[in-house]
């Protein structure tokens, strides 16, 4: 099962990224654990300064911009 994390303080871009992740998972019909991390101290553990951040299986795939649904689908297929 994929483990997906969206890191961000709760801004509009972060919420959009989270929604896009949920839609991508739904389109693929895969099982995934999707976690949204909004706590600043928790985000600092990952040493990221720009949000939103999309992590798949503990690897940063996208940071500082909103990943669209098709891009997330492609990342999840890898």
C-alpha to C-alpha distance for 18 and 35, rounded to whole angstroms: 9
Q: Is 51 a catalytic residue?
A: no
C-alpha to C-alpha distance for 3 and 55, rounded to whole angstroms: 8
Identified catalytic residue from 14, 37, 55, 56: 14
C-alpha to C-alpha distance for 57 and 9, rounded to whole angstroms: 21
Q: Is 11 a catalytic residue?
A: yes
Annotated catalytic residues are 11, 14
């Amino acid at each position: 099962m994929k483990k997906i994390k969206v890191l961000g303080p709760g801004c509009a871009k972060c919420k959009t990224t989270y929604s896009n992740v949920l839609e991508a998972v739904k389109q693929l019909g895969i099982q995934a654990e999707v976690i949204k991390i909004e706590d600043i101290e928790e985000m600092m553990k990952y040493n990221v300064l720009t949000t939103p951040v999309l992590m798949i299986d503990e690897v940063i795939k996208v940071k500082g911009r909103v990943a669209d649904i098709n891009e997330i689908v492609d990342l999840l297929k890898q």
